Amino acid sequence: MAVPSSVSVTPTASPLFLRENEVRRGVELLFFGYTRLTRAIDEGLAAHGLGRAHHRALYFVARQPDLPISALLKILAITKQSLGRVLTDLADRGLVETRTGNVDRRQKLLRLTPEGIQFEAQLFDALRNSLASAYAAAGQESVTGFWRVLEGLIPAEDKAMVVALQRDI
């Protein structure tokens, strides 16, 4: 395993054989941080009889209007059938609608209805409150580090997808 030359070699060990403690700390903080963040929106979702799976779809459709279903499938990495149920629920509640693609008429492009936009924004507020206070407490350089490490956890083949999300808006 090659070690990037930009990483300074500590006297103790190669960065790829980090002290177990540092890795466990990351595992644990990721677990607690992620689960606690997601809990921040459970109440809002439950008010509409929806779950986290619905929010994930809602979120990414909000993020990329006119997203084709195939793209959402790649992002969520679940099966067509699982996504189908989720989208049906969202459509039934008038939060998401589809249009036929004009370039490729086989595609259905997903976007939020005005109600969907409002609901997603409301859920996003809860996420923003949590994340913004964590950002503020940690400081800007910490936020940059936070992003960098997480980027390193994303396999190369998925990275383009994430970058595409963050290009627009």
Partner DNA sequence: CAAGATACGTCAATATGGCTGTCCCATCTT
Partner DNA sequence: AAGATGGGACAGCCATATTGACGTATCTTG
CB 2 to a second copy: min, Å: 10
Cα distance between the two ends of the chain? 38
Tell which one of 59, 60, 63, 98 touches DNA (CB under 7 A): 98
Nearest distance in Å: CB 77, a second copy? 7
CA distance 49 to 60: 19
Interface residue with DNA among 9, 24, 43, 88 (CB under 7 A) is 88
- Interaction between residue 75 and DNA (CB under 7 A): no
Q: Which does 167 bind (CB under 5 to 8 A by kind): DNA, a second copy, none?
A: none
- Closer by beta carbon to a second copy, 22 or else 94: 22
Residue 67 main-chain phi, psi, to 5 deg: -70, 125
CA distances from 92 to 61, 87, 96, 101, 147 (A): 16, 8, 8, 21, 36
Sign of torsion over alpha carbons 104, 160, 79, 40: negative
Token pair 């809860």 is found at: 126
Place of tokens 């998401």: 96
Binding positions for DNA, rule: CB under 7 A? 49-54, 56, 68-70, 73, 77-82, 84-88, 98, 101, 104-109
Binding positions for a second copy, rule: CB under 8 A? 1, 3-4, 6-8, 15-18, 20-37, 56, 59, 63, 77, 124, 127-155, 158, 162, 165-166, 169
